[in-house]
Amino acid sequence: MKPQNVVEFADQLSRRRALGIALATVAFLGVQLVARPVFRSDGYGASGPRAYMWALNAAALLLLLLPAGGFIWGRRVRELVNDEVSRANARTGAAAGFWMAMAAALAVYAVAASRALSAREAAYVVVTPATAVALLAFAWLESRAHRDG
Amino acid sequence: MSGLGDQLANRLREERTRRNLTQAQLAELVGVSRKTINTVENGIFIPSTVLSLRLAKALGTTVEELFQLR
Look up the domain containing A19 and give its range: 6-65+74-146
Between B38 and A148, where is the model more confident? Answer: B38
For residue A134, being part of any structural domain is answered with: yes
CA A71 to chain centre: 20
pTM of the predicted protein model: 0.88
Look up the domain containing B23 and give its range: 4-61
Q: How does DSSP assign A4-44, residue by residue?
A: -SHHHHHHHHHHHHHHHHHHHHHHHHHHHHHH-TTT-SS-T
Q: Which of B33, B41, B42 to mutate to test the interface with A (most CBs of A within 10 A)?
A: B33
CA A4 to chain centre: 31
Amino acid at B22: T
B38 vs A contacts (CB less than 8 Å): 145-148
Nearest to B35 among A5, A145, A149 (CB): A145
For residue A1, being part of any structural domain is answered with: no
Number of domains in chain A: 1
Number of domains in chain B: 1
For residue B44, being part of any structural domain is answered with: yes
pLDDT at position B7, please?
Answer: 81
For residue B15, being part of any structural domain is answered with: yes
In tens, the pLDDT along B21-57 reads: 999 999 999 999 999 999 999 999 999 999 999 999 9
For residue B30, being part of any structural domain is answered with: yes
Mean local confidence (pLDDT), A21-46:
84
> Is A149 touching B (CB cutoff 8 A)?
yes
Domain of residue B31, CATH code: 1.10.260.40
For residue B69, being part of any structural domain is answered with: no
> Is B22 touching A (CB cutoff 8 A)?
no
